[in-house]
Amino acid sequence: MADIALKEPALRRSVFDGLPLASKAAAACALEPLPPATRLAVRGRPGVAEAAAAALGFPLPTGVCQSAEGGGRAAFWLGPDEWLVIAPEAEAATLAPTLEQALAGVPHAIVDVSHRNVALTVSGPRAAYVLNHGCPRDLSLSAFPVGTVSRTILGKVEVVLWRTGPESFRLECWRTFAEWVVGFLNEARREFE
């Protein structure tokens, strides 16, 4: 029987399975789980940002709370020497080695956190207001324009919040906090049901 497990790679199970994401409030603020992704925590000495371009197709952003995108990949500035790189799931086995190669000349660290984080889209005309129930950042378009990314908090949980459009955000959190995050956002958007 054990041989069966070898032949069929163990199934993935999303933390969002069974969570109450649908809501009558969706017109004001919708929650949608995002598919699995390749995620790399990238750290390193100065020079990493430029060197990464060889693997990513673009350099890592160096401006505070900036993001960069290209070829289905995105990189988030989280700190002066810290980035989160997100790529399609299909690159799970290849992206890290490619990036290792590109950064070979600069002291660095790449750690696979593909399964540590999960992501959902928070979108709609009241998305920022709903997020502001737990996130103390100014989420107005002038203070937090499209493309801004911030490691911040949502209530009692650390999140990475990336503005993907005037009314949409990608919210990343650690997997075990997803249930709380969904519950919290549901509570916050209940007035729009």
CA torsion 168-67-173-101 (nearest 10°) is 140
Contact (Cβ atoms closer than 8 angstroms) between residue 160 and residue 83? no
Q: Which of 30, 31, 103, 110 binds another protein (CB under 8 A)?
A: 110
The torsion region of residue 170 among left (phi > 0), alpha (psi -120 to 50) and beta comes to beta
Burial (CB count within 10 angstroms: exposed 0-12, middle 13-18, buried 19+), residue 65: buried
The interface mask with another protein, positions 15-54, x = CB under 8 A, is x--------------------x----x-xxx---------
Q: Which of 23, 67, 114, 123 binds another protein (CB under 8 A)?
A: 114
Identify which range of 61-69, 70-78, 111-119, 163-171 contacts another protein by CB under 8 A.
111-119
Closest CA to 140 of 154, 127, 152, 151: 127
**1 forms part of the interface with another protein (CB under 8 A):** yes
Nearer to another protein, 71 or 97 (CB): 97
CA distance 88 to 21: 23
For another protein, the binding residues (CB under 8 A) are: 1-3, 5-15, 36, 41, 43-45, 81, 93, 107-117, 129, 132-138, 140, 143, 155-157, 174-177, 179-180, 183-184, 187-188, 190-193
